[in-house]
Amino acid sequence: MSAVPSSLAPSPSSNPNKALWEKGDFTRIAATMRESGESLVRAIGVTKGMKVLDLGGGDGTTGVPAAKLGAEVLVVDIARNLVAAGTRRAKDEGLANLRFQEGDATNLQGLKDHSFDLVVSIFGAMFAPKPFDVAKEMVRVTRPGGRIVMGNWIPNDPTLVAQILKISASYTPPPPEGFISPMTWGLETSVVERFAGAGIPMDRIAFARDTYLFNFPGKPSGFVADFRKYYGPTMNAFDAAEKNGRAAELQKELETLFAAQNRNAGAGVTSIPATFLRVTVTR
Ligand SMILES: C[S@@+](CC[C@H](N)C(=O)[O-])C[C@H]1O[C@@H](n2cnc3c(N)ncnc32)[C@H](O)[C@@H]1O
């Protein structure tokens, strides 16, 4: 695999996208997503020796299972703390074929053209600004005949994550002018437009609705507490809500949502499915 500079991303203070994901500790949420990460990697046909780039891969929810299947995996993520956590996981699991690297999906400088068989980005690259640049970079580093698989939350979808993000946004000050919502990656028309800008015709893009399951070993209110403490977008919403005296209202709204969506009500554990748009691009 190509050599990559040790840091591809600007400092947190100058980059709000990076600051958002370094603010909390996403590993605490990712721990509830492992089962679906494994299923997804199996479903998309990761095989031994395949060169895989996992973009916005966090601490390895999909990177670890892909490496366990024998792929050569590079996880690129903008958050320094998640890169460190992923590197520890790879070491603990004895996975010499799994590397974590700090970098920005909008500019994958240091990664060579056509160097991956598969680029995976599950709820990762959708959070980067400049979506047209992100599509171009993903296409650039994928080999002809290779694939890009994205998992994107869907705007206004009634299930968990789309609703958390919607509720959180309603308590947070409006974003700066020109800000493009990450949720637009969940709209097929936007996806087609962005990949068209990278030279990919529509007939090479396939869409499917898929489900991720969040498994938390406690009550829904405990899971809400983790989002409040560790998940950047929800942390920002609570920061703003506290200033406006609305934190209790936000807490209640989220607890109602989590309790209503829990499939294991009464069992003392929480299991919540969330729908996403799975995008497959053939290069
Ligand atoms: C919701 S988390 C998902 C992480 C991981 N894919 C998983 O399923 O556990 C979003 C991830 O995208 C990363 N991210 C956000 N913006 C990024 C960017 N511009 N470039 C690379 N990674 C980014 C965050 O640091 C975070 O790890």
The per-residue pLDDT for range 129-170, each reduced to its tens digit, is 999 999 999 999 999 999 999 999 999 999 999 999 999 999
Output the residue whose Cα is nearest ligand 1's atom 19: 128
For residue 267, report the distance from its CA to the centre of ligand 1, in Å.
Answer: 31
Ligand 1 close to Cβ of residue 123 (< 6 A): yes
Ligand 1 close to Cβ of residue 54 (< 6 A): no
pLDDT, greater one: 242 or 9: 242
Lookup result for tokens 């015709």: 201
Q: How far is CA 221 from CA 119, 254, 260, 270, 276, in A?
A: 35, 9, 11, 9, 23
Ligand 1 close to Cβ of residue 100 (< 6 A): no
- In angstroms, rounded to a whole number, what is the distance separating the alpha carbons of residues 9 and 104? 6
Asked if residue 5 has pLDDT above 70, the reply is no
- In angstroms, rounded to a whole number, what is the distance separating the alpha carbons of residues 90 and 63? 9
Query: What average pLDDT is seen over the chain?
Result: 94
Ligand 1 pocket mutation, candidates 17, 127, 168, 236, criterion most atoms within 8 A of CB:
127
- In angstroms, rounded to a whole number, what is the distance separating the alpha carbons of residues 148 and 10? 25
- In angstroms, rounded to a whole number, what is the distance separating the alpha carbons of residues 126 and 181? 9
Q: How far is CA 108 from CA 2, 198, 241, in A?
A: 12, 15, 36
Ligand 1 pocket mutation, candidates 29, 61, 76, 78, criterion most atoms within 8 A of CB:
78
* Proportion of the chain above pLDDT 90, given as a percent: 89
Report the pLDDT value the prediction gives residue 10, as an integer from 0 to 100.
43
For residue 76, report the distance from its CA to the centre of ligand 1, in Å.
Answer: 9
CB neighbourhood size of 244 (10 A): 11
Query: What token pair was written down for 120?
Result: 């995976």
The per-residue pLDDT for range 193-229, each reduced to its tens digit, is 999 999 999 999 999 999 999 999 999 999 999 999 9
The per-residue pLDDT for range 26-68, each reduced to its tens digit, is 999 999 999 999 999 999 999 999 999 999 999 999 999 999 9
The per-residue pLDDT for range 225-266, each reduced to its tens digit, is 999 999 999 999 999 999 999 999 999 999 999 999 999 887
101 forms beta bridges with 76
Ligand 1 close to Cβ of residue 151 (< 6 A): no
CB neighbourhood size of 111 (10 A): 23
For residue 26, report the distance from its CA to the centre of ligand 1, in Å.
Answer: 9
Element holding 274 (H helix, E strand): strand 270-282
Asked if residue 11 has pLDDT above 80, the reply is no
Report the pLDDT value the prediction gives residue 2, as an integer from 0 to 100.
37
Taking the model in full, what pTM does it have? 0.93
Ligand 1 close to Cβ of residue 232 (< 6 A): no
